[in-house]
Amino acid sequence: MRDRFVNQALTKWMEGTGKESEIVISSRVRLARNLCDIPFPNVAAAEQTKAVVSQVEGAIKDAEIEQTSGELIFVNLEELEPLDRLVLVDKHLISPQHAEEAAGKGLILRADEAVSVLINEEDHLRIQCLFPGLQLEEAWDLASRIDDLLESKLDFAFDEKLGYLTACPTNVGTGLRASVMMHLPALVLTNQASRVLASLSQIGMTVRGLYGEGTDATGNLFQISNQVTLGRSEEEIISNLVVVATQLIDHERMARQVLLKETKPQLEDRVCRAYGTLTSARIINSQEAMTLLSNVRLGIDLGIIQGVSPQVLNEMLVLTRPAFLQKLAGRELSPFERDVQRASLIRERFSLDG
Amino acid sequence: MRDRFVNQALTKWMEGTGKESEIVISSRVRLARNLCDIPFPNVAAAEQTKAVVSQVEGAIKDAEIEQTSGELIFVNLEELEPLDRLVLVDKHLISPQHAEEAAGKGLILRADEAVSVLINEEDHLRIQCLFPGLQLEEAWDLASRIDDLLESKLDFAFDEKLGYLTACPTNVGTGLRASVMMHLPALVLTNQASRVLASLSQIGMTVRGLYGEGTDATGNLFQISNQVTLGRSEEEIISNLVVVATQLIDHERMARQVLLKETKPQLEDRVCRAYGTLTSARIINSQEAMTLLSNVRLGIDLGIIQGVSPQVLNEMLVLTRPAFLQKLAGRELSPFERDVQRASLIRERFSLDG
């Protein structure tokens, strides 16, 4: 039964390892790159798009790159079922846009999904490293080395003054977007989250929910990333984000201690009720599941709940998404059927621990 | 641990036995009687009140009565701690008024609390039989026999035309109030309860919540009693109520089948979540506890929850009341402390079963 989760669902970032993994779920670094003399994907002709895929696919099949990144597999998105593409979205590996319009798009993937290269999404290439815990430097280091090796074989569009050229001007320069996914339940419970997170925009950071732009911070999960890609070095961008993440970790830790000190019974009640509901419900929607999973995770972190592994939250983030539930069921499910399937999956997962 | 519940809390009506005990929690018959030539308790002088107590106490100590009713114990309410009096209220043995102003008031009680005689409450005597399940005839039969035996020794105020005279005109005549406590969750869930119960007033029945007049139907528990005491024979009053109760039982059973047939997953979800919350919560107020206990009881009745005894609802009705919680704690508790104590007691009780 465990296999079902491990084989079909787990990717590297869900492991719950890495530094500060109690609060930082994952760290991601993504580099936007484009080939010279070929229009950006949104305006490229089918032939040109095809040429990009074959150039990148050719370049990546390289002993030195594989030695650096691990074995990489090329996937033609057009050949995947729509549901499988949605699963890749749920795993944070491709964007929803990339999943919807698969024509001419490719994905290069390491088996543990910690390394991926998206071909012909918004840019010709997006090199992505996604690690568990606070591992921004590690992710940057690997992405950068893969980038260097690819650059030695491919002709990237680069301007002496502007830096790397990208389809969207917000990515011009370093082409680097770094982000951390943080679980900040105590900041939310102590009503500090909005204030603390709002202040981040003043220092060039963007805060989003779990599934990117325009999504809510369901489950007390916040994705914090750099706004600016131009005029700063990659190392500066990474180290700034590490500083911000570290401050948020301290803040969250303090808020947790305050909760434990000042409202312990209420906290225990919240956590235990969440566990009770998750292990009992027969029908549960995504929003409620995320909220309760967040409470349970907080309870695990604080020792209120024992015998349940902390990575259960990470796993459930993906396993309980509509696409994944339908993948498991092997067919399309109505919203009601998904809520039933979700409840059943959660009960099953918790019964493995505890 | 079981002793704690059994010895301190259980009374006959909580046993969950008797006919139709799936839906009818308890049946009660109460006869109001007054002694001739002594003013009603609310206007009687202290000396007169005392005289009533000693007359009744004397009359009850009778071999024939004890043979009929079982051994009876006299309790002087003045000698009880206020908290103990409140526990008697929670057990439906005395009224809140009786508990508050204990001066000159007495209570005669069988060990299993199924038979009681209240002295100097609203009337000089109230003879009460409280049985589990649908046992109105049985309760009436016993109350009537005790009444006859007492009447052979005491001079009851009786008018040829009006019947038994009582302090409140609504009790004049037979002095009989019969009631059933019914658990009607499916009628509530299918939105039929208000309509069905409202129609009862047209046929001379009163519907109240668990703790009498002015209380809500918390926990989907409804107390149905006769409005009229005058102009009908005791047998008519009892048999009318049996008919009404039987119809309500049929109605509730049908509604349960409809729920099972049409919304089984939702019903299971409701029941299982209720169980999950009750066995997990660390803080719970009385209202929520009652609602959830009602759902769990429904789940037990329908076989959705197994291994939990159905009488758990009956027990918890009393055990989770403020007075009882304070009695268990051995001291006065703040509302918050009660909510913590209640949650703990419920978890403990459920851990005995299942």
Percent of chain B with pLDDT over 70: 95
pLDDT band at A117 (very low <50, low <70, confident <90, very high): very high
Q: Name the interface residues of A facing B (CB cutoff 8 Å).
A: 265-266, 268-269, 272-273, 275-277, 279-283, 340, 343
Query: Quick one: B141 exposed, middle or buried, by C-beta within 10 A (0-12, 13-18, 19+)?
Result: middle
pLDDT above 90 for A73: no
Calculate the alpha carbon distances from A178 to A28, A98, A109, A129, A319 in Å. Answer: 6, 19, 19, 10, 24
The DSSP-derived string for B67-132 is HHH--EEEEEGGGS-HHHHHHHHHTTSS-HHHHH--TT-EEEEETTSSEEEEESSSSSEEEEEEEE
pLDDT at B92: 77
Average pLDDT, chain A: 89
Query: Considering only CB atoms, which chain A residues are within 8 Å of B277?
Result: 273, 276-277, 280
Query: Considering only CB atoms, which chain B residues are within 8 Å of A281?
Result: 269, 272-273, 276
Query: Considering only CB atoms, which chain A residues are within 8 Å of B269?
Result: 281-283, 343
Binary contact (A280, B277; C-beta < 8 A): yes
pLDDT band at B51 (very low <50, low <70, confident <90, very high): very high
pLDDT at A1: 34
pLDDT at B212: 53
pLDDT above 80 for A43: yes
Shortest Cα distance, chain B CAs vs residue A268, angstroms: 7
pLDDT at B11: 74
With CA atoms as reference, the chain A residue closest to B267 would be A282
Shortest Cα distance, chain A CAs vs residue B222, angstroms: 28
The string of pLDDT tens digits covering residues B173-222 is 999 999 999 999 999 999 999 889 888 988 889 998 765 555 556 889 99
The pTM (predicted TM-score) of the whole model is 0.88
For the B1-252 domain, the top CATH level (class) is alpha beta
User: Which helix (DSSP H) or strand (DSSP E) does residue A237 occupy?
Assistant: helix A234-262
Query: Where are the domains positioned within chain A?
Result: 1-252, 263-353
Could you tell me whether strands A115-119 and A158-159 are parallel, antiparallel, or unpaired per DSSP bridges? Answer: unpaired
Binary contact (B281, A273; C-beta < 8 A): yes
pLDDT band at A21 (very low <50, low <70, confident <90, very high): very high
pLDDT at A216: 58
Which residues contact residue B211 at a Cβ distance below 8 angstroms, ignoring those fewer than 6 apart?
none
The string of pLDDT tens digits covering residues A250-290 is 999 999 999 999 999 999 999 999 999 999 999 999 999 99
- One-letter amino acid of A150: L
Could you tell me whether strands B221-226 and B115-119 are parallel, antiparallel, or unpaired per DSSP bridges? Answer: unpaired
pLDDT at A2: 34
Calculate the alpha carbon distances from A323 to A117, A330, B103 in Å. Answer: 22, 10, 71
Taking Cα atoms as reference points, which of A119, A122, A128 lies closest to residue A154?
A: A119
Query: Considering only CB atoms, which chain A residues are within 8 Å of B283?
Result: 265-266, 269
Of B268, B269, B280, the CB nearest to A276: B280
pLDDT at B201: 86
Window from A196-200, A318-322, B25-29, B90-94 with minimum mean pLDDT: B90-94
Calculate the alpha carbon distances from A320 to A87, A286, A349, B351 in Å. Answer: 11, 7, 11, 30
pLDDT above 80 for B3: no
Of A266, A272, A281, the CB nearest to B272: A281
Average of pLDDT values for B297-309?
A: 93
Binary contact (B280, A282; C-beta < 8 A): no
Average of pLDDT values for A87-115?
A: 84
Q: Name the interface residues of B facing A (CB cutoff 8 Å).
A: 265-266, 268-269, 272-273, 275-277, 279-283, 340, 343
Average of pLDDT values for B235-250?
A: 96
Average of pLDDT values for B9-29?
A: 85
Binary contact (A277, B279; C-beta < 8 A): no
pLDDT band at B68 (very low <50, low <70, confident <90, very high): confident
pLDDT band at B91 (very low <50, low <70, confident <90, very high): confident
pLDDT at A327: 85
ipTM above 0.90, yes or no: no
With CA atoms as reference, the chain A residue closest to B264 would be A282
Higher pLDDT, A222 or B111: A222
pLDDT above 70 for B284: yes
Binary contact (A282, B276; C-beta < 8 A): no
Of A269, A280, A283, the CB nearest to B282: A269
CA gap A26, A245 in Å, rounded:
11
pLDDT above 70 for B10: no
Of B277, B280, B283, the CB nearest to A266: B283
The answer to whether B136 and B246 have CB atoms below 8 angstroms apart is no
Question: How far, rounded to the nearest angstrom, does the alpha carbon of residue B340 sit from its chain's CA centroid?
Answer: 26
Shortest Cα distance, chain A CAs vs residue B183, angstroms: 24
DSSP-assigned beta bridge partners for residue A254: none
Task: Provide the 8-state DSSP code for B37.
Answer: T
Binary contact (B265, A282; C-beta < 8 A): yes
pLDDT above 90 for A147: yes
Binary contact (A282, B275; C-beta < 8 A): no
pLDDT band at B15 (very low <50, low <70, confident <90, very high): confident
The answer to whether A10 and A315 have CB atoms below 8 angstroms apart is yes
Average of pLDDT values for B243-264?
A: 97
Task: Provide the 8-state DSSP code for B219.
Answer: G
pLDDT at A8: 53
Average of pLDDT values for B133-147?
A: 96
Query: Considering only CB atoms, which chain A residues are within 8 Å of B275?
Result: 280
pLDDT above 50 for A46: yes
**Strand ranges, E, within B184-304:** 205-208, 221-226
pLDDT at B328: 85
Please give the structure tokens belonging to residue B220. 């989907």
pLDDT above 70 for B69: yes
What is the greatest pairwise CA distance in chain A? Answer: 64
Shortest Cα distance, chain B CAs vs residue A290, angstroms: 16
Average of pLDDT values for A81-99?
A: 81
Average pLDDT, chain B: 89
Of B266, B275, B279, the CB nearest to A283: B266
Task: Provide the 8-state DSSP code for A326.
Answer: H
